[in-house]
Structure 1
Amino acid sequence: MSVPDTMRVSVLRGIRDVAVEERPTPQPGPGEVLVRVGSVGVCGSDVHYYEHGRIGDHVVRGPLVLGHEAGGRIAGVGEGVDVSRVGQRVSLEPGVPCRHCVQCRAGRYNLCPDVVFFATPPVDGAFAEYVTIAEDFAYAVPDQLSDDAAGLIEPLSVGVWANRKARVGAGSRVLISGAGPVGLVVAQVARARGASEIVVSDVDSRRLEAATRFGATRVLDARDGIPAGLVVDAFVDCSGAPSAVA
């Protein structure tokens, strides 16, 4: 597979200042693969960095490539990686841990304090034609899955984890606050896991309408408060709003 020497990247240069630049195509190191990016989702974190230049303690202090919900095709491999992976379509897990700390050794690599996460300052993300990543964090996907769907596996994993954590299963009654993309994913996973009641709350009528098309059995306008008699087995907050949790 032919790989050009340079590639286009979308660079956040400052608040609300994004430009397309030409950069050298990265080279995969030992144990890494080079991925030609096929599709990248826009996460709420990308929007925060674009609009505010920060998320809490994570501050954009220099040019940054956003995007971490990515899928694509392996275009090259580094030392120690099976060359037969070239051409393989993949979905990327964008946070690579150190593998050596206490959390990693305990099997909780998602809590690694030294994780290298795409599009988290100062680590560049996937709004580029090519990216490199540890080979075991590039997961093969079937050809019948589109590039867009491959990119959505990362946010889908959030919905899967949330439902597992909340122990949602057959017959469960679950309340989800927030009918944004992640809230809708959580609702769809709950439905796939056999939940009998999936109640979704929000303050946006358009989002609530979308929730009825993507798994919700009932929707609530959060401004009206919790209706009397509502009983659920699990609550999942996908809004980030303190008032929603309250």
Structure 2
Amino acid sequence: MRLKSRKCIITGAGSGIGRAIAKGYAREGATVVIADASLRGAEETATSIRAEGFIAEAITVDVRFRDQVEHMMFCALERLGGLDIMVCAAGISPVTHFLDISEEEWDRVIDTNLKGLFLCGQAAARHMKTAGGGVIINVTSQLSEVAQPKCTHYVASKGGAKMITKGMVVDLAQYNIRINSLAPGLTNTPMNPLDTPEGMAEYVKVMPHIPMGRVGQPEDMVGAAVFLASDESSYVTGATVLVDGGYLAL
């Protein structure tokens, strides 16, 4: 088990990629705290992990707000007794033409996808500095590198997420804290469902540009997430690991 006895928090783990990573970490021996804006989703993930005989706790948090992030951290540390790994996977992805994005929607996307990384990363790093080190993984996107229609606010948030990761590395490496980005390609999740008419249209549009010939599933992200959290990546920091089926190779 590559994460035996590691203590982890995963935000956005009530569904999708965050849920898959949480399950993958538990199977590798980690104790996980499932943090999500939906307490129901968090509890569903934790219950499914416990059903496999592993340890998981559920906490509700809206990562846009410092007081909620600090409460999450307090509760998680109390339950875990420490923190080795922080995975920031909370995110939203509304589809809106640039000319129709309201200020409210812009703020909601930026606050969730970018400010949330700042707040969670800072809270985790403050503890890790005292504890002697740790690992932070920011889940970004292939859209930190390229743009697509009707998601200017999303690509702005993910481009910022890539760069906040690099900025964190420069300040935190001295404290034995490693920070990397995990950048998924198009993935079939509740945030981006492909079993709807809109999702199928996106699938058909993108498919010719994915050399591996399929879109990703949440479970496709687990191997890279485990690698980045484990000692196998002990000299890896500031990297962006793309898991996109080769999309950006074209």
Place the TM-score, normalised by the shorter chain, in its bin: under 0.3
Q: Which protein has the larger Cα radius of gyration, Structure 1 or Structure 2?
A: 1
The alignment's TM-score, normalised by the length of structure 2, stands at: 0.23
More strand by share: 1
The alignment's TM-score, normalised by the length of structure 1, stands at: 0.24
More helix by share: 2
